Amino acid sequence: MTNEVLDRAAGYATCQILTAAGSSLVGVGAYSLAAGGTGLVPLTLGSLSLLGAGFACQDTPVGPAGPDQGGGCQEMEPGGYGQVQYGAAGSWIPVPTPNTDKRDTAIKLGVEGIGQDPSTGKWSASIEWESVTAGGAGSTGAIFDTEAEAEAVLWRIDPIEGSCAIQPPLPTPPDNAFEPIPYTDPETNCTYNVQLLGFVEQAPGMTQDPVYVISGSDVLRADGGRVGGCNFSPTVYYGGSGGGGDFGGGDGAPPFPYIPGDDPDGRPNWLDTLAGALAGAAGAIAADAVADAIQAAFATEYPGLIYRMVSVCEKDASGEPISESVEVPIPNLRAPDAQLARLDAIVELLQAGKNFKQPVCPNERPTLVGAWRTISFRSTESSPYGKSCIRKRFRYRSQSGLGLGEVVDHWKDFTWTTGPVCVTHKGYSWGTPQVWAVTADEGKRVIQHAAGEAGFDANQVGEWGISNSSSSRYGVSLPVKVDTTGGYYWITDRDGSDGRPIVAQLPNPYG
C-alpha cells in the first residue's frame, strides 16, 4: 500500500465529509497536540475551506449551518441575567429587539438556524432565548449580506447580574462524519474503507486536519463477488496541513498501524502514536509509542479464518462452467504466529491463481451527465447519542429535465429510515449515489426513488454495492424526512458549481 493510494483515499473521504456535514463541522472539537493531546480547540471555517482546497474537492461547499454558539456564556446561574449579543472576532452588538426589558433579562440561549429571504437576497441568523420575564421566551435574529457572514456569527449572554453558569462545550462532529466511506481506487481497482477518527491541530495558528483509519474493504457486489480484493491491516493516515500526504518534508506523518481503544487518561491510542510520530526526527514514531504498539500486538489473539480462492473460468469436459477453489485455514493464533501463518498462505494462494484460468475484466467508466440534485434530510427526533437531530445529504444527477418545483413535488413527502447498511449504485451516468439505511432494501428504495425522478430503473443499469458497519455510533437508525429548516425545502437543482443553488420556499399556510 503506497502513500499515493492513501492520499487519494483520504482526499475522496474528505470531500465526501465536507459535502455531507458542511458547516456543521465549524466549532467542533479538534485535538490540540500543542497541549499534549489533552485539550480541544474549535474547528474554523477557514480550516475547512483550506482542507477542501487542499484536496481539490469539486462542488463541495462548506455550509450551510446554524449560528455558532461559541462566543461565550450560554446560560446564567439562578437569579442572574444578562444582555443577548451577537458578533464575530470579539466585536459584540446588542440584539436589536423592541422590548429592552426582555433583551436585558436573558438567562439561556438556543440556536434556531439561518435562512435566505428570496425577495431581498439577504441572509438571517436567528436565535432563541429564555428570560425571567413573563412568557419566558424570545426569538430574534440579525441580517447579513452574505451566507458566510450569517454562518460565522457568534452569540452570547453578557452578564449584568449574577455570573455565567454554562460556557458552551465544543460539540462533536455529526454522526454521519464518522460513517465508513467506501473508496474504489482508479489505479489499483481496489476498494477501501476510510473512516474519520477526528481532527488534529499541531500548533496554534495551524490548520486543523482530519485523521483517518484506512483498511481493506469487505464490500460485496450484488452478485456476491468481492469488490477489489485488496486487503491490508487498518492504517492511520494523517496528511498534515491541506492534505496531499506531504510525508517526510512537510507536516504530515508516516502511516502507522491502528490500535483501537483509549489509554488510561482517556485519549485514543492513535493520538499518542501520532504525537510521537510528529515529534520524532524525520517523522519517526517515538520509541515508547512503538513499544506500546508492539506489546499490544503480541498480547492480542487473532481470530482464525479461511483464505479461499475461487475460479471463475474453469469448465468441465462438456464445456459447462464449474467452480473450483483452494482453501487455506488459519487457526486462532497470537502474534507473530498469526502473521507467519497468513504469509505462508500467500504462497499457496498465488500458485492457485497461476493455475486457474484468468478472466479479463473491462475497466470502463460511464460519462457523467445530467443536472445535480441535492436533497437534505433531517431526522424527526434527536439522535440517541446527542441532543441534535441527524442530517443526511443525498446527491445524484438527473436527465429528466424537470424544474425545481417538480423535483420538490417528487421528494417533499418522501421518508426513509437511516441505519448501518451502506447501499451504493455505480456504473451509470448519474454518478455513485450512496445511502446509509436500516436495511439494504431500504437503501435501495431511496436510490430507486431518485432513479424514478432521473428517468430510469436502477435495477436495469449499473450495479448495486452493499456494506455494513457494526458500530451503533456509525449506524444510528432514525426516520428522516426532507429538511424544511428556515421555511424552505432543502432541495436544490443546479447544473454546475457556479452560482448559488436555488431553494424552494414552503407554502404559506395563511395564504
Q: What percent of the chain has pLDDT over 90?
A: 17
One domain, residues 410 and 474: yes
Using an 8 Å Cβ cutoff, are 468 and 219 in contact?
Answer: no
Query: Which residues span the domain enclosing 193?
Result: 3-61+179-285
Among 80-84, 174-178, 202-206, 465-469, the range with the most confident prediction by mean pLDDT is 465-469
Q: What is the pLDDT of residue 452?
A: 94
Report the predicted TM-score, pTM, of the whole model to 2 decimal places: 0.41
- ω into residue 336 within 30 of 0, thus cis? yes
Whether residue 394 is found in the same domain as residue 463:
yes
219 with 162, same domain: the answer is no
Predicted confidence (pLDDT) at residue 431 exceeds the cutoff of 50 = yes
Boundary (domain end) residue, out of 116, 139, 166: 166
The answer to whether residues 416 and 474 belong to one domain is yes
pLDDT band of residue 224 (cuts 50, 70, 90) is very low
Cell (9 digits) for 299:
498480547
Same domain as 83, residue 229: no
The enclosing H or E element of 246 equals none
Residue 385, helix vs strand vs coil: coil
Does residue 171 lie within any of the structural domains? no
Q: How far apart are the first and last CA of the chain?
A: 62
| DSSP secondary structure letter of residue 205 | T
Per the prediction, the chain carries an average pLDDT of 76
Instruction: Judge if 337 and 380 occupy the same domain.
Output: no
What length is written for the chain?
511
The C-alpha angle with vertex 398 and arms to 400 and 430, in degrees rounded to 5, equals: 140
CB atoms within 10 A of CB 36: 13
Q: What local confidence, expressed as pLDDT, does residue 283 receive?
A: 41
Q: Are 273 and 33 in contact (CB under 8 A)?
A: no
Highest mean pLDDT among 53-67, 117-131, 333-347, 415-429 belongs to 415-429
500 located within any domain: yes
Domain shared by 21 and 109, yes or no = no
Residues 211 and 133 in one domain: no
Most distant CA pair in the chain, distance: 94
Q: Quote the pLDDT of residue 314.
A: 73
Write down which residue in 166, 189, 218 finishes a domain: 166
The answer to whether position 365 is within a domain reads: no
Residue 312 lies in a domain: yes
pLDDT given at position 246 = 41
Provide the pLDDT for residue 214. 92
Q: Tell me, yes or no, whether 362 lies in a domain.
A: no
Inside any domain, residue 466: yes
Angle between helices 440-454 and 404-411 (to 10 degrees): 150
Tell me what pLDDT residue 459 has: 93
- Please say which residue of 355, 382, 417 terminates a domain: 355
Measured distance CA(444)–CA(465) in Å, rounded: 10
Based on the fold, state whether residues 188 and 260 are members of the same structural domain.
yes
Q: Are residues 209 and 266 in the same domain?
A: yes
pLDDT tens digits for range 317-348: 776 767 778 888 888 887 777 778 888 888 88
If phi > 0 it is left, if psi is from -120 to 50 it is alpha, else beta; for residue 338 that is: alpha
Contact 243, 14 (CB under 8 A): yes
Residues 54 and 116 both lie in one domain: no
Return the HEC string of 459-482: CCCCEEEEEECCCHHHCCCCEEEE
187 and 241, same domain (yes or no): yes
